[in-house]
Amino acid sequence: MELKNAEKIIWETQQYAKTILNSLSAHIAIIDKDGMILETNVAWRQFASCNEIGMRPDTLNVNYLKICDAATGDSSDKSGEVAAGIRSVIKGDISEFVIDYPCHAPGMQHWFYMRVTRAVGDGPLRVVISHEDITALKIAEEQLKQKEDQLREKTQHLEEANVALRAVIRKNDEDAREMEQAILQNIRDSILPGIKRLQERSEAPEVRKLALRIESDLQDIASPFLRLLSNISSILTPQEMKIALLIREGKTSKEIANFLNLSEPTISFHRQNLRTKLGLTGTSSNLRTYLLTLEK
């Protein structure tokens, strides 16, 4: 009676173990020390029956190591690595061997993650081989890589476009500077001398005064200092820039007022605005001294 009970317990334990084994989604085979397949689960057998793949024997008592050794073609390198890894686990050189590999079926691509471990317990040596389907992960990795490659390509094109754009902007700036220099040179060489001759030869005070005003305005246009001042603070008004030029030349508030036909309080008001806009408020810096430090 005790023997029968023991046999029943063993049988029930075996059935329970098979149930657990068959419930796993991983393809699992158990081999002995020689590489002979002793047991497989449902997932292993179903895959083997649907795919004509030598690495996936669908019957028991087949030597898994011999199948790996006999593999040819594109999979032979991986098969040799798998066989060597299994033998290392069997010998006890390593406790675990893992590898991921392609295992494509006709008309469909598959990748698997393989794990080989020694079974725990007394008795004859048993080695558990499991294969997890990682096809979805590999496809996702490949898609991510493609997107990264596309992003790198777009980034490179954008950088090239930026380089070309900077070159165009630089050329436009150079052309603008050359045109500006040509205009300024024409003002200095042709227009201003003509205005000067008009002042000297005309006997009418109104004409001389008008010529003087035109000369002053043209000097302002040609002044590098005013262009620099405009770049430093684009919020300066044309009147403030003109007054800044006269202050830099050493003119007093009274002289500036007479020259521009303005009152001295108005000039003082503009001087204070200049100090504020140029960041000199609350400092002891002299306005003319600061303007003189600006490069001509």
| pLDDT score for 230 | 58
Rounded distance, CA 164 to CA 110, Å? 45
- Domain at 2-133: CATH architecture: 2-Layer Sandwich (3.30)
39-47: Cβ within 8 A, 24+ apart? 44/131
Question: For residue 75, what are its two tokens?
Answer: 């999979």
pLDDT tens by residue, the chain, 296 residues: 666 666 666 566 666 667 776 667 788 888 999 999 988 888 888 777 765 544 444 567 889 898 888 877 666 678 888 899 999 999 999 989 999 888 776 777 788 889 999 988 778 899 999 888 888 888 888 899 999 999 999 999 888 888 888 888 888 777 766 766 666 667 666 777 777 777 777 777 777 777 777 777 776 666 666 566 656 555 778 788 888 888 888 889 999 898 888 899 999 999 998 888 888 888 888 888 888 887 54
Tokens of residue 107, six digits? 């008309």
Q: What is the CATH number of domain 223-296?
A: 1.10.10.10
Q: What are the sequence ranges of the domains in the chain?
A: 2-133, 136-203, 223-296
The overall pTM is greater than 0.85: no
Contacts of 48 (CB under 8 A, 6+ apart): 40, 56, 57, 58
- Return the closest-CA partner of residue 55 out of 40, 76, 41, 38: 76
pLDDT at 296: 47
**Token pair for 124:** 């004859």
For residue 17, the model assigns a pLDDT of 63
Separation between Cα atoms, residue 289 and residue 282, nearest integer Å:
16
Rounded to 5 degrees, φ, ψ at 110 are -135, 145
Strands (E), the chain: 27-31, 37-40, 96-102, 111-118, 127-133
Backbone phi, psi, residue 245, to 5°: -65, -40
Q: What is the pLDDT of residue 88?
A: 94
pLDDT at 61: 81
Are 83 and 68 in contact, with CB atoms under 8 Å apart? yes
